[in-house]
Amino acid sequence: MSVRRLTVQLASVLAVLLFAGPLAAQQTYTITGRVLAGGTGNAIQGAQVLLRGTNAGGTTNNAGAYSFTLSAAPGLYTLEASFIGRETVAQEIELGAEETVRVPDIELRERALELEAVVVTGTAAPTARRAIGNAVSTVSARELESTPATTIDQALQGRVAGAVITSNTGTPGGGVSVRLRGTSSITGGAEPLYIVDGVIIDNNADQQLNLGYRSNSSNRLADLDPNDIERIEILKGAAAAALYGSRANNGVVQIFTRRGRIGEPEITVSSRFGRSELIKEIDFALTPVDLAGNPVQRFDPQDVIFRDGSQMEHHVSLSGGGGDTRYYLSGGYVEDNGIMRGAAHDKLNVRMNVDQGLGNFQLSAGANYIRSNTDLVINGEQGEGGLLTAIVFTPTTTDLTARNPETGELLNTAFVFPNPLEVLDLWDIGQNVNRFVGSLQGRWAPINNVNLEYRLGYDNYQMETTQFIPRGTATAPTGRSVSLNRYSTLLNNDLLASVQWGLGGTALTTSGGMNATYLWAQNLNATATDLGPVTQLVSGANMSASQGKVETSTLGFFGQQQVGWADRIFLTGALRMDASSTFGPDERWQMYPKISGSWVLSEEPFIRDRAGDWLTQLRLRGALGYAGNQPPLGSAYSRFSRYGTTINIDRIGLVPLAESGNPELKPERQREYELGFDISTFDDRVALAFTYYNQYTRDLLLPRPFAPSTGVGSVLDNVGELSNRGIELQLNTVNVRRGGFGWTSTLIYSRNRNRIEKLEGDPYFVGYGNRIEEGLPLGVLYMTGFRRDSVTNAILSDSIGPLASLTRVVVGNPWPEWTGSLSNEFTFGSNWSASFMLDGQFGHELWNQTRRIQDIFGAGPLYDQLLRGEITAAERTRHQAIWENYVEDASYVKLRQLALRYNTRGDWLRNIGASALQLELLGRNLYTWTDYSGYDPEINMFGLNTVERGVDFAVYPNARVYTLGVRLTY
């Protein structure tokens, strides 16, 4: 077919669509009915009901009931009811003379495997899961709701096969690190790309210099409100993510927020109140003697800094829709007073999502405003003002609370670090964020099966971190006031076009598009010392300021062709061309191809006939793809050889930076293939999804150090290679569904093996000892170990105690060998439901620097042994010098969450104007099974840092949380 003819045909179809009027006599109908859970007969709330061939439909309320009106010509229609995690059921109805049509109850059975669910992420056009060759994880709102987590990434813990999700810190508002299928970079970012409703958002973890540097990592994903989330789709590797080009090496997480549905306006009001507590206390040296054996008083400093925390969360939403308009409005407020004194966080979140249909054009707009305030407590490596840091550095003979009875001033202030009470009393450290995320999408379907879509995304935030220390402290005798500001804008443009067509018995979907992303960020910092009176602002006799800006821009084009035969065999091929300003002009344009296939074997006659009822569904899938990774923002200009300023007797001069430019800089490039199958049996009650993946990343960006005689320090270069291989397994079962009782389980298992395949130059280590060496996993713990016999491997000792190794050796791996989770959900009748989840990580080590510092400074358990005369002073010194002594197995299992819910639609609710009430009791981190001696084995002190992991150094621990919640629906 020539292009000209196609155009003419398109135009005529268009004309018909635009100008065709109503053809038959219309009548108004009201359609009502109920959607219930198959087996248990419980009401399903939120099920979608649609009359095929019309725009009309509705959503079920708490009673499972729906009702909508439309005008239509009489005749036979098909009503379709669907709900996530359940089968979709179509029911014939007849619209006749009766104005009110009562539809019989529709029952939707739970399915362990959802081949029909539609996936949007990375597919160019919405595609049924059966047609996709790569594993896509989805997490529903229902799963997110059953955890009292205030951030999305916390709520994802234990939900996604192949993901290692670790809290960086328990600080209220603190961040979480997410690694999908291992780490595939050394200097670049290793966190996935985050997308909200089609728009890339910023997940920066800028720690703003020296206020909590390298210890209090929060990332900007924490700004989003989990209450607004409808669904999350997770693509784990290059094979799935090729459509995101040079930013997709680490996978893609797409978050869909709630949108309005056609039907009566629905208002929900929910509140949660929680109490949090320290999971456990660690051992301090409290034997009340000194080294000479004389009695002394010793103090447990944990009493000084920990407390019981409290949480409060309120959320209001209004949603609905009529005609061509749908809307969702919400407001949320969270307040979290942490388990460490002085730690507090509050966050206000306002969202508006509006969808407006205009014939075959649909416009969607989303706006999200976030404002958060955090009272920071500093910990970890940051000594200045650190609370936990201070107490592990203080001998237990010190009474931190002792005050001069006359002046009330603290007596004990001069230690390695300031007295935590001085910090709590006098210092003021805070962080506030103002953020707006907006999106605008236009979708135009000029004719059937042709879709054009444009998306504009805008993510803008300002973050300010402040520190105020009044005059008169040892840390800053003349006082200090600091204001660190980060401004960031991320702009995102997407253009997509797709056509669905056929050729004989073949279904074809052709799509193409482009994407342009622009990021602009600025740091503006001001500091004052020698402060004036009263004001806490940056105002003093001595002031300084600095500024830095960065811009990056990425442009990409892609095309994709999907072919389907008999709705059973699908092949998809895609190609993306991508360019980024970060890279040199000659290497800028990179091509990322992908190909994937899916074969629904169970629908092949030769299988179906033999397997019979035993096999419900079976699908084989496989994918091969390439994606890239860009260096972090700090290297946005590494392709240039640049000069920095210097001073010679107050005159400004220029000298070359130690880092020289690399005009041939290009992205890290990953090849991934994955193979897997989905199978469900026993009437769709047991489903297993299995995936094997193999990632190989080349051109890793590393600073290549030069011989100093060149005058060059280093050049960022594409020099390394590493691999990740692993399997993911997910078993969903519907254990019981009868007599009002339902029980479903999900078991997730995943393992990953990471290996540095090639490294130019010598192995090295970063931080305390995360080794980068060819043939080893990335960042293994590399520290002074026990000296061992080279043959028998027995630890060598002398008369004092064990000997230290002569050089650093590999003493542990911070990456778990495998991770797993088990979730169970129960429903009892139509009122009660319960769920719990266990999750764990196994076979990895943490270096407990907290305990080591305690021991060195006369506060730890080893020192206690010395006080009790169990070891000699020389032996103690020996033990402290061997870092391997402090490397501990960090395997754990956590009772991550437990939820008990009561739902009612009692008539008495009408008296307060409500239609449904839900009461819930939730618990998080209720119990931890672990041999780890520190506060919490789930610690990742360096946040999103790619290589530095496995170090526990006075990190704010995660809390155990009990929450009581109530939700009213009107």
| Residues of the shown chain interacting with other proteins in the complex, contacts defined by CB under 8 A | 454, 456, 491, 493, 495, 514, 516-518, 548-555, 557, 579-581, 585, 588, 636-637, 640-644, 646-658, 660-661, 705-713, 761-762
558 backbone φψ class: left, alpha, beta (φ>0; ψ -120 to 50): beta
576 and 566 Cβ atoms separated by less than 8 Å: no
| Residue 633, number of CB atoms within 10 A of its CB | 17
Q: Which is nearer to other proteins, 55 or 646 (CB)?
A: 646
Closest CA to 668 of 713, 699, 703: 699
Q: Which is nearer to other proteins, 470 or 713 (CB)?
A: 713
| Residue 303, number of CB atoms within 10 A of its CB | 12
Strand ranges for 292-343 from DSSP E: 309-322, 325-337
Q: Which is nearer to other proteins, 407 or 648 (CB)?
A: 648
Report the amino acid identity of residue 540.
G
Q: Minimum distance from CB of 544 to other proteins (Å)?
A: 11
Going from the C-alpha of 405 to that of each of 401, 408, 409, 410, 946, the distances in angstroms are 12, 5, 8, 9, 50
The length of the chain, given as a count of residues: 970
Q: Minimum distance from CB of 383 to other proteins (Å)?
A: 12
Q: Minimum distance from CB of 282 to other proteins (Å)?
A: 29
Q: Which is nearer to other proteins, 772 or 917 (CB)?
A: 772
Q: Which is nearer to other proteins, 100 or 547 (CB)?
A: 547
Question: C-alpha dihedral over 947, 950, 953, 957, to 10 degrees?
Answer: 110
Question: What's the N-to-C CA distance of the chain in angstroms?
Answer: 56
Alpha-carbon gap, residue 747 to 749, rounded angstroms: 7
Q: Which is nearer to other proteins, 80 or 530 (CB)?
A: 530
| Residue 869, number of CB atoms within 10 A of its CB | 11
Q: Minimum distance from CB of 692 to other proteins (Å)?
A: 37
Q: Which is nearer to other proteins, 322 or 761 (CB)?
A: 761
Q: Minimum distance from CB of 493 to other proteins (Å)?
A: 5
Q: Minimum distance from CB of 914 to other proteins (Å)?
A: 43
Q: What are phi and psi for residue 477, nearest 5 degrees?
A: -55, -35
Q: Minimum distance from CB of 206 to other proteins (Å)?
A: 16
Q: Minimum distance from CB of 715 to other proteins (Å)?
A: 9
Q: Minimum distance from CB of 545 to other proteins (Å)?
A: 14
Q: Where are the alpha helices (DSSP H) in 748-900?
A: 849-856, 861-867, 873-881
Tally the C-alpha atoms within 13 A of residue 406's C-alpha that lie toward its C-beta: 0
836 and 821 Cβ atoms separated by less than 8 Å: no
Tally the C-alpha atoms within 13 A of residue 287's C-alpha that lie toward its C-beta: 18
Q: Minimum distance from CB of 643 to other proteins (Å)?
A: 5
Q: Which is nearer to other proteins, 645 or 793 (CB)?
A: 645
882 and 933 Cβ atoms separated by less than 8 Å: no
Q: Which is nearer to other proteins, 128 or 495 (CB)?
A: 495
Q: Which is nearer to other proteins, 412 or 581 (CB)?
A: 581
| Residue 54, number of CB atoms within 10 A of its CB | 11
* CB-based burial, 817-849: b 16+ in 10 Å, e otherwise: ebbbbbbbbbbbebeebbbbbbbbbeebbbbbb
Q: Which residues contact 882 (CB under 8 A, 6 or more apart)?
A: 784, 785, 786, 802, 804, 805
Q: Which is nearer to other proteins, 565 or 643 (CB)?
A: 643
Q: Minimum distance from CB of 550 to other proteins (Å)?
A: 8
Q: Which is nearer to other proteins, 77 or 765 (CB)?
A: 765
Q: Minimum distance from CB of 767 to other proteins (Å)?
A: 18
Q: Which is nearer to other proteins, 519 or 882 (CB)?
A: 519
Alpha-carbon gap, residue 839 to 160, rounded angstroms: 11
Alpha-carbon gap, residue 825 to 141, rounded angstroms: 14
- Quick one: which H or E segment has residue 918? strand 916-930
Alpha-carbon gap, residue 482 to 484, rounded angstroms: 6
Q: Which is nearer to other proteins, 105 or 586 (CB)?
A: 586
Strand ranges for 504-568 from DSSP E: 506-531, 540-565
79 and 780 Cβ atoms separated by less than 8 Å: no
Q: Minimum distance from CB of 209 to other proteins (Å)?
A: 16
Q: What are phi and psi for residue 310, nearest 5 degrees?
A: -140, 145
**Helix, strand, or coil here: 635?**
helix
Q: What are phi and psi for residue 598, nearest 5 degrees?
A: -145, 135
Q: Minimum distance from CB of 713 to other proteins (Å)?
A: 8
Q: Minimum distance from CB of 514 to other proteins (Å)?
A: 6
Q: Which is nearer to other proteins, 76 or 707 (CB)?
A: 707
Alpha-carbon gap, residue 58 to 68, rounded angstroms: 6
Question: C-alpha dihedral over 851, 857, 858, 859, to 10 degrees?
Answer: -40
Q: Which residues contact 889 (CB under 8 A, 6 or more apart)?
A: 844, 845, 931, 932
Q: Which is nearer to other proteins, 712 or 916 (CB)?
A: 712
Q: Which is nearer to other proteins, 517 or 724 (CB)?
A: 517
Q: What are phi and psi for residue 19, nearest 5 degrees?
A: -110, -5
Q: Which two tokens stand for residue 399?
A: 């009474």
167 and 153 Cβ atoms separated by less than 8 Å: no
Closest CA to 81 of 34, 144, 147: 34
Alpha-carbon gap, residue 345 to 175, rounded angstroms: 13
Q: Which is nearer to other proteins, 126 or 644 (CB)?
A: 644
